[in-house]
Amino acid sequence: MRHLLQHAVFAAVTDPANGGGAPAGLVTYTLDPGHTEVVARWNHFGFSTPAAIFCQVKGTLAYDAAQPERSRVEVSIPVASMHTTVPKQDEHLRSAEFFDAEKYPEIHFQSTKVERGPAEDQLLVTGTLSIHGVSKPVTLDVHVNQVGVHGMHNVPAAGFDATAQVNRSAFGIGAFAPAVSDRIDLRITAEAIESKAWAAIEQAHAG
């Protein structure tokens, strides 16, 4: 039953003119949290560049491969999902001295503009990033990895990588700067499944 439903969804959003390979028009996808993550990297007193990984990412994106300017994305990330390789450091970063996860439990991003980049597979996605109760504009440099049929689920899917830089002090978490760099380099990878198909997959797993 799951495969029949996924096949029906796939047929509904696929353009027959292109051989059934890529979704046509504006298609809504749901992020797969198991294959989506945000990596934040910083400089530590000039000696090292450690990183923290944010996972359990939730969100939706609407993407039109032919007219990417119509696309949009909204994402939320629980601060509690952040982890490094050092548990005490995780606790410190979640504390009131930095993210204050108890008071500000989520990071949120919502796009306001999508533009084509210089390269054919590049997009510039501008939006509002909210961290620690502060909202600032941020532009993501996005690489479109692939849009088409997912090899495991046989349903429409889309995958992207993105990079951005933010100054953490702009969000009120500038402790120990500049010895610990103010600038944070973000690297994002995201895999998304067409939303109706994703709902069917989740329902099948729940059953």
pLDDT (tens digit per residue) in 134-145? 999 999 999 999
pLDDT of residue 19: 38
Q: What is the SS3 assignment for 29-63?
A: EEECHHHCEEEEECCECCCECCEEEECCCEEEEEE
pLDDT (tens digit per residue) in 176-203? 999 999 999 999 999 999 999 999 999 8
Its CATH class, for the domain covering 2-206, is mainly beta
Query: Which token pair is 96?
Result: 């009131």
The answer to whether the CB of 146 falls within 8 A of the CB of 159 is yes
pLDDT of residue 204: 86
Q: To the nearest 10°, the Cα dihedral for 37, 42, 44, 48?
A: 70
Least confident of 4-18, 83-97, 151-165: 4-18
Mean pLDDT of the chain: 91
pLDDT of residue 205: 81
Tell which wins on pLDDT, 204 or 123: 123
Least confident of 8-12, 70-74, 118-122, 203-207: 8-12
CA 123 from chain centre, in angstroms, equals: 14
pTM of the model: 0.87
